Structure 1
């Protein structure tokens, strides 16, 4: 729908007739032109500081868990972790400079120069797959939560747990046993449904292999076999990762 709008019905036929939003974003039939983030001198020190912040958060969480088990005194892990994640990279940016600088799109001739462009085909594909898959995932999560007996919620309330901790520590761990298997299928469908981008002219993997490569080489069997192998590798990787996570969160019965 978005592709048809931009390509057929939109009066913005070219960059010169594009809609200008603060001399920063430009919308036309060719897509959405926006500023592009480019690495500056402080980029790699900033990346290292983010990694160090994550390591510090993990160590802090382990220390807080041991402290809670030993003394029973809770520690505000969320706020402490958020402070570490903000303060450490911020100090790095102050010392080494900004990690990024922005390249603004500028109209030169008949097209924009610089910045980054989001073409209508990619936007339409992203929105379509997001809305379609999110509807199924939302139903999977809802059914998983509903599968947990309401007695679990009542038991948590009788222990004095608030709704937030009840959901995180009681309901979700039990619901994941129902959520993960169909969620794996949806992730697999999402990877395979991306091939529908060829129908709206977006150059994704199927159109690249079965179109460009096949036309240049003429080796139909080999090209299709390579395409199938790539999708098979992606599907197996997703399945292995989700099965590992499913085994990790499974309740161990004695």
Structure 2
């Protein structure tokens, strides 16, 4: 089936994850991976086929058959790591705009808490375009507390997933819990920006989260929950399912 304009409307997430997953085709230093989240298995398959057949620079495209921990299906696209990578991703996004009707695409590089507007300039600035540059970038990102996986490196968690601003934490043998990411940054600066007052009434929730997540300084201000690690603080709001 040939996809038409808006055939994937409301079915594709706005945030592209770049270099967050390993390449199937070769070494990560030589391949840029782009992961796109969709709402259904069928839309993932449709998008996979569209991207693989429609762009000669796409080395491979694949999609997941089962729902991921964050409730989505993933489409994985692989491109040669080169100076053209940013331009090629913009071309893919342009095609997806036509299919989805959305013009608010953003991207998250590696496993950073923050996503950025999808622009040629931002892509060129953040994506390593050579094997040497990739090696340096991975070394920096793997040791950075801005990496949301690293932030929970002393937790009891089995998995940590970030979709848009929804953080999903999963402990083995327990139901997942979700949070909306509100802010992230150096501890004092970020705490000073919180306007709500200290909440001493939800101590039971703090105890539960400490047992679920692990040894973090967890505090509640109004409806906001803060988690501290290595001189940085993550500000969230609990999503009640």
TM bucket (normalised to shorter chain) is: under 0.3
Instruction: Give TM-score scaled by structure 1 length.
Output: 0.24
Determine which structure has the larger strand proportion and give its number.
Answer: 2
Structure with the larger helix share: 1
Structure whose alpha-carbon radius of gyration is higher? 1
